[in-house]
Amino acid sequence: MSTRIEVNGTWRDAQSDADTPLLYVLRDELALNGAKYGCGLGQCGACTVLVDDAAVFSCVTPLAMVAGRRITTLEGLGTLERPGRVQRAFIEEQAAQCGFCIPGMILRAEALLRASPHPGEAEIREALHPNLCRCGTHVRILRAVRKAAGT
Amino acid sequence: MTARRDFLKQSGALVVSFALAPAAAAQGAKEGGPKLPGSLAKDPFLDAWIRVEASGAITVFTGKAELGQGIRTAILQVAAEELDVPLAGIALVTADTARTPDEGFTAGSHSLQDSGTAIRNAAAQVRALLVAEAARRWRLAPATLRVEDGSVRATDGRSAAYGELAASLDLHVQAKADAPLKDASAFRVMDRPVPRVDIPAKVTGGLAYVHDLRLPGMLHARVVRPPGYGARLVSLDAGAAERRAGVVKVVRDGSFVAVVAQREWTAIRAMQDLARGARWSETPALPDARKVAALLDSLPSRDTVILERRGAQPNAARTLEATYTRPYLAHASIGPSCAVAHLEGDRLTVWSHTQGVYPDRKAIAEMLGMPAEKVRVIHLEGAGCYGHNGADDAAADAALVATHVPGRPVRVQWMREQEHAWEPYGPAMLVRVRASLDERGRIAAWDYGVWSNTHSTRPGGAGSLLAGRHGAKAFEPPPPRAIPQPEGGGDRNAIPLYALANARVTSHFLAPMPVRVSALRSLGAHMNVFAIESFMDELALAADADPVAFRLAHLEDPRARDVVRAAAERFGWRSAARGGTGIGQGFAFARYKNLAAYCAIACEVEVDLDTGQPRIGRVVAAVDSGQVVNPDGLRNQIEGAIVQSASWTLYERVAFDAKRIRSVDWQTYPILRFASVPRSVDVHVIDRPGMPFLGSGEAGQGPAAAAIANAIAHGGGRRRRDLPIARA
């Protein structure tokens, strides 16, 4: 039995069991690196992807729940040669140390900007609240999101 | 060493002549002329560090690893500068036992000092040899030639590319100790904010981490860890796991239990099956987590006086004393540890985010009873580690499991609760300090003691690895050792840099380790600087002196005085600022290890006068790390140190009961989130062109902790001497 999902603009028939968390479908079956395993508990945000336009924890979202939905991962926002606006802002602000949390931060910021194109500082901090960074890159992450928002 | 020589011979771009084995050569350098700079002292041949192919391809080799600190970019800058080639024209190979020099661990803020210095000197000498070769061919004086983008050019228009020159050149020659280096005024690449070369792949989903490695035919494994440190496996019902579709094998070796599956999610479900089917014997052996001082006082201590200064008999007017404590702290990497291992015939390859490929290889080889030269460990990045976390253990897990599925690569990733519960923590610490002020308000006497476990249980041998301990062979952990001064472990930065006429500092080394501990970024410096710099404020208050002026009055080192003044000035330090208003200012300073970078931090903290809860506002830091390689990279490191230290200092504590670790995820081990991030962090870099590199990756943790505590006390919160200070 397969589950049809749209990933980064392409329809895919995922073969994993319906109760498999989306994270493992993306990483293991579709070989996408962007979403990271951080906790498997929805506590850190490293696995964040977009379902339609909303940021979700892919580590606790079963495949069955996203059948027929539009999923966007880091890879769907741009490429090495043509990074998307949020990715570009993160590169320009050098907003990464180890970078492991950054894909989740970028997707979280993308969801925010789709919902609220010109967020203020408090709104940005609140939107990023579910996502943890351990290197202490927060100040640069905030700067990158402000830059992507043009605020 | 042998393996790398083999590799070099096989690829054969340069003529290799063996005059001396490296160890003998290094020995010769020690006995004869001046000591070679940086890691050249251990590996003196130029071609160990730099190779130039006939095609013109340039490869630089470092034994250090990218940990997210930006070392890849900084090393490339150093090499590009001295070789006079574009940065993009160099391939960099990092920590790999088959290819790079053995530079031990990537730790202690040593990478630029050790590897950067070696590569800078080697690059300058390779460039000089290439120029000399062109001069020989053209019968011109080397001084008349110039280098441009990897070609040597003569004034008459003749030019030769590096590759062409290298084809007839032997770089298997020993480095010289005193080769001329480029003057700082001529830099094009160093001392410039070069964008990090690793960031684009990380933000677009490229293969950036060992977690992303996918080898053909790769299997996925998960380990079932015991419920607590002393637990032993009594029985295992593996039926449910083995019946699960897609499960390849259940591995049991003593108390080491793992499952291998075709798919990652299958491995996780089977791991849960196994955990349900496992019965363990547990012994309650852990002390009371919340009573740090009592816990550490109960352990036998080996005392060393590390500073004894007896000046004129002080005329003490007032004496103060205080006790400071820190709980166990977790590295708590965002990405749980991961490794891939592949046994092919009698050769094992392990891809790991270890900080030390050579020591890890030795430990894994011992665990498996294999000769070390049959094991290759290759570094690939992981999530930031901040010291010795689960990386080496995950590598050992993968290695052990790989021996049960020969011919198939196998990937092991830890679960969140395994990373939190099994990593070796930063040790709990206790400081007792007493000092007297004379009538003029100067420090007349100082007596300081620090109690701590070791700050390194890195491999080591097989007993340093969880798989080595839990396996049937049950390797014993090696006895803990103190890291000696001047760098120190628990006593790192226990000696204040201040000019104190009468002072004693005692390091109380506690050998027994009820909780698994090892190196956490900055080792004892976080706690010692927190204690010293908090106490300096307590003394300043008693002396009715401004905290910054009080520090300057006891500080002679001119570079220390410069960072203190720069931080105070940039912050807009108000020496007459009234305390208790709910907004406090705090200051702190240290020179990391008293040997590396200087760092002073001023900050503003709002304190809720009802609840005592702090909120960090502006933070300003000044840092002197000698010759700067990448100013933006340096700022990124110091910013990170400040925010990370704020999290340690305000919120963090490993929790455990008598049997088990209880802080096993982000709910039970909360860390700083965006709401608590300082309003701004501004890092001012004092550049020292031409001076030696001073390690900076760990310079900010101690000063940040004390500056925050001092600002809280000044703002009207209580003086906080026991970490953590606040509630997350």
Q: How far is A65 from chain B (nearest CA, A)?
A: 17
Q: Residue B80: its pLDDT value, please?
A: 97
The answer to whether the CB atoms of B195 and A106 lie below 8 A apart is no
Determine the residue among B204, B423, B680, B698 to mutate to test chain A binding: the one whose Cβ has the most chain A Cβ atoms within 10 Å.
Answer: B204
A46 to chain B: which residues are within 8 Å by CB? 334-335
A57 to chain B: which residues are within 8 Å by CB? none
The answer to whether the CB atoms of B202 and A133 lie below 8 A apart is no
The answer to whether the CB atoms of B678 and A128 lie below 8 A apart is no
- Buried/exposed code over B612-621 (b: 16+ C-beta within 10 A; e: otherwise): bbbbbbbbbb
A32 to chain B: which residues are within 8 Å by CB? 205
| Residue-averaged pLDDT of chain A | 97
Q: How far is A48 from chain B (nearest CA, A)?
A: 13
Q: Would the pLDDT of B640 be above 50?
A: yes
Q: What is the DSSP string of B164-194?
A: HHHTT----SBPPTT-----GGG-SSTTS-P
**The two three-digit tokens of residue B629, written as one number:** 């390689």
**CB B169: neighbour CB atoms within 10 A?**
18
The residue of chain B with its CA nearest to that of A20 is: B265
| Residue-averaged pLDDT of chain B | 94
Return residues 660-719 of B near A (CB < 8 Å): 665-667, 671-675, 677-678, 680-681
Nearest Cα to Cα of residue A23 among A51, A52, A55, A57: A57
A79 to chain B: which residues are within 8 Å by CB? 204
Q: How far is A95 from chain B (nearest CA, A)?
A: 8
B649 to chain A: which residues are within 8 Å by CB? none
The residue of chain A with its CA nearest to that of B220 is: A28
The answer to whether the CB atoms of B636 and A20 lie below 8 A apart is no
The answer to whether the CB atoms of B681 and A139 lie below 8 A apart is yes
The residue of chain B with its CA nearest to that of A23 is: B265
The residue of chain A with its CA nearest to that of B386 is: A135
Radius of gyration of chain A (CA): 15
What does residue B247 show for φ and ψ, rounded to 5 degrees?
Answer: -80, 130
The answer to whether the CB atoms of A43 and B665 lie below 8 A apart is yes
The residue of chain A with its CA nearest to that of B521 is: A135
Q: What is the DSSP string of B497-546?
A: SS--SSEEEEEEEE---SS-B--BTTTTHHHHHHHHHHHHHHHHHHTT--
Residue B522: pLDDT band with limits 50, 70, 90: very high
**CB A38: neighbour CB atoms within 10 A?**
30
What pTM, to 2 d.p., does this model score?
0.95
pLDDT tens across B683-715, in order? Answer: 999 999 999 999 999 999 999 999 999 999 999
Q: What is the DSSP string of B622-651?
A: EEE-BS-S-HHHHHHHHHHHHHHHHHHHHH
User: Between chain A and chain B, how many beta carbons pairs sit less than 8 Å apart?
Assistant: 176
* pLDDT above 90 as % of chain B: 91
Which of A24, A31, A125 is closest, CB to CB, to B675? A125
Return residues 617-646 of B near A (CB < 8 Å): 632, 636-637, 639-646
Q: Residue B33: its pLDDT value, please?
A: 67
A28 to chain B: which residues are within 8 Å by CB? 220, 263-265
Q: Residue B32: its pLDDT value, please?
A: 56
Cβ(B526)–Cβ(B705) below 8 Å: yes
B672 to chain A: which residues are within 8 Å by CB? 138
pLDDT tens across A61-85, in order? Answer: 999 999 999 999 999 999 999 999 9
The answer to whether the CB atoms of B674 and A142 lie below 8 A apart is yes
Three-state SS at B196: coil
The answer to whether the CB atoms of A37 and B336 lie below 8 A apart is yes
Q: Would the pLDDT of B314 be above 90?
A: no
**The two three-digit tokens of residue B270, written as one number:** 């089977």
The answer to whether the CB atoms of A125 and B263 lie below 8 A apart is no
What mean pLDDT is predicted for residues B659-671?
Answer: 98
Q: How far is A20 from chain B (nearest CA, A)?
A: 7
Which of A28, A73, A100 is closest, CB to CB, to B383? A100
Determine the residue among B674, B696, B701 to mutate to test chain A binding: the one whose Cβ has the most chain A Cβ atoms within 10 Å.
Answer: B674
Rounded CA separation B654/B331 (Å)? 10
**The two three-digit tokens of residue B273, written as one number:** 């099956």
pLDDT tens across B473-512, in order? Answer: 999 999 999 999 999 999 999 999 999 999 999 999 999 9
pLDDT tens across B128-145, in order? Answer: 999 999 999 999 999 999
pLDDT tens across A104-150, in order? Answer: 999 999 999 999 999 999 999 999 999 999 999 999 999 999 999 99
The residue of chain B with its CA nearest to that of A96 is: B199
Q: Would the pLDDT of B318 be above 70?
A: yes
Cβ(B87)–Cβ(B77) below 8 Å: yes
Cα torsion angle, B674, B703, B390, B107, sign: positive
pLDDT tens across B73-118, in order? Answer: 999 999 999 999 999 999 999 999 999 999 999 998 899 999 999 9
Which of B204, B336, B672 is closest, CB to CB, to A80? B204
**Among B426-435, B462-471, B571-580, where is mean pLDDT lowest?**
B571-580
Determine the residue among A61, A94, A106, A107 to mutate to test chain B binding: the one whose Cβ has the most chain B Cβ atoms within 10 Å.
Answer: A94
Rounded CA separation B240/B223 (Å)? 16
What mean pLDDT is predicted for residues B15-34?
Answer: 44
Residue B4: pLDDT band with limits 50, 70, 90: very low
Rounded CA separation B267/B250 (Å)? 10
Residue B29: pLDDT band with limits 50, 70, 90: very low
What mean pLDDT is predicted for residues B53-75?
Answer: 96
Q: How far is A79 from chain B (nearest CA, A)?
A: 6
The residue of chain A with its CA nearest to that of B701 is: A136
Q: Residue B315: its pLDDT value, please?
A: 82
Q: Residue B717: its pLDDT value, please?
A: 79
DSSP state, residue B591:
E
**Among B59-63, B162-166, B404-408, B724-728, where is mean pLDDT lowest?**
B724-728
Residue B12: pLDDT band with limits 50, 70, 90: very low
Which of A40, A77, A98 is closest, CB to CB, to B383? A98
Cα torsion angle, B103, B104, B106, B109, sign: negative
Segments of B6-148 assigned E as strands: 50-52, 58-61, 90-93, 146-148
Q: Would the pLDDT of B30 be above 70?
A: no
Three-state SS at B410: strand
Which of A24, A80, A125 is closest, CB to CB, to B201? A80
Return residues 338-397 of B near A (CB < 8 Å): 381-384, 386
Q: Residue B429: its pLDDT value, please?
A: 98
Establish if B138 touches chain A: CB-CB under 8 angstroms.
no
